[in-house]
Structure 1
């Protein structure tokens, strides 16, 4: 589980500190959008990281002589923990032996090497006699990893149109935010300028709003300064703006009344 987004990590980032508790998505957000190459756990400055598929924690099923899957000896016991991902030294050695196994883009994410090797299926999906459900689960797993990890991430981080190319499969996405903005207008759509300026998410993660719906999104999702008639991304940005641009009463704050500002 990723320590930032708390989602189950399908791929993890491994740096020189050997912490692997951050998923591939959060790693790229930190390094590309936030310009932060530090480990979120120990704050070590990791100039190089590897993104590799996480091992599955699914336990293998036991099969009787007749081929029917049998219940685990302790059905209520938690599944065994998954094996740890390769260490940073192991991945460095693998890249030295087979450089073509890893993808790195000089104009994409500096210092990030993505393992292009396909992960092995979970043992439970390969156990004989699993029946229709196991076969369907195996097909779903194979479909999930049909596209190599580095291609998935290049598509996910691309500056593509969320209307006509929502999966980022266009080989030639837009070169600048202005080009994407002008293209979205041909669909009668816009992306929220506050979300774009905040730079917290990649273009394909931002919703393409109908032009008439943008004011409702601004009022619902962002903070509004009544003095300036401007919107700010969240509480932190709003607080920073109020502290810098407006006044507060020290007597009121001493009396316990906070966040009261004046023009």
Structure 2
């Protein structure tokens, strides 16, 4: 693969996210992906596998040019030691750091905060805006990709989703706990784990859940102990 590496990926399109690539990430498997996808996997998701072949990559190199890893690995680089990411230049390291910044996009000075919690506090105090905690906890995206809401917008987002994003239909509610979950799969796991259901109805395809069997059925209808 190494002899045809540059020509095979000459279209400058990431095969994972299909965005134009300005900085490549290359590991031992020689599959180049964009540094956004690589950073998302290694830093946000804490997964070191190649997103194409799933080979474990102990180290990746961020570079402007697609070259075989064995050639790139012959040099000394700037490095993020925690996530084992090498940078071909200081400019590439700066671009990587900007991906992970917690910046307020509403302030003209664009202040950067040390932690995401600091940014959350700033947005609430200075702009009266909030992030959705369910989305924050479950979506592995960069801070700059997260959306803030007014109180009314956040309530609508939780109930029905965002008007311009038809893929998100809100966060479903557990009527017993009065608590919302990220999606229907998470709600289903919660119901199976923390609430009661009739195995006979469940086997017939009727997915009904109950807070308590004692509240659902009268005492005379309890199943007798054999």
TM-score (norm 1): 0.62
Residue 137 (structure 2) pairs with residue 197 (structure 1): yes
Q: Helix, strand or coil for the counterpart of 1:184?
A: helix
Match for residue 89 of structure 2 among 94, 116, 120: 116
Tell me the distance in 2 between the aligned counterparts of 1:53 and 1:235: 41
Between Structure 1 and Structure 2, how many residues are aligned? 189
Distance verdict in 2 for CA 1:231–1:8, change over 3 Å = farther
Aligned equivalent of 2:56, options 45, 58, 66: 45
Report the Cα offset of residue 202 of structure 1: 2.0
The alignment's TM-score, normalised by the length of structure 2, stands at: 0.71
Tell me the equivalent position of 2:26: 14
C-alpha displacement of 1:156: 2.1
Q: Deviations over 1:162-181 (max 9, x none)?
A: 32279xx65xx322333212
- 1:181 pairs, out of 98, 103, 120, with 120
Q: Quickly say closer, same or farther: Cα 1:41–1:240, change in 2 above 3 A.
A: farther
The answer on 1:248 being equivalent to 2:188 is no
Partner of 1:25: 36
Secondary structure of the structure 2 residue equivalent to 1:194:
helix
Could you say what secondary structure the match of 1:201 adopts?
Answer: coil
Aligned equivalents of 1:247, 1:28: Cα separation in 2: 41
**What is the rounded CA distance, in whole Å, between the counterparts of 2:103 and 2:137 in structure 1?**
17
The reply on whether 1:104 has 2:43 as its aligned counterpart is no
Separation (CA, whole Å) in 1 of partners of 2:176 and 2:43:
34
Distance 2:140 2:72 in 1: 29
Q: Judging changes above 3 Å, is the alpha-carbon distance between structure 1 residues 238 and 23 closer, same or farther for their aligned structure 2 residues?
A: farther
| Structure 2 unmatched runs, 5+ | 1-12, 162-169, 212-226
The aligned residue for residue 261 of structure 1 is 209
SS for the counterpart of 2:73 is: helix
Aligned-residue offset at 1:8 = 4.0
Q: 1:153 aligns with which of 63, 84, 96?
A: 96
SS in 1 for 2:180: strand
Structure 1 gap ranges (5+)? 55-84, 118-147
- 1:92/1:194 CA distance change after superposition, 3 Å: same
* Aligned counterpart in structure 2 of residue 89 of structure 1, from 70, 81, 97: 70
Structure 1 ranges of 4+ moved more than 4 A: none
Instruction: Quote the Cα distance in structure 1 between the aligned partners of 2:187 and 2:14.
Output: 28
Let me know the Cα RMSD of the aligned residues.
Answer: 2.6
Larger RCO (alpha carbons 8 Å, 6+ apart): 1
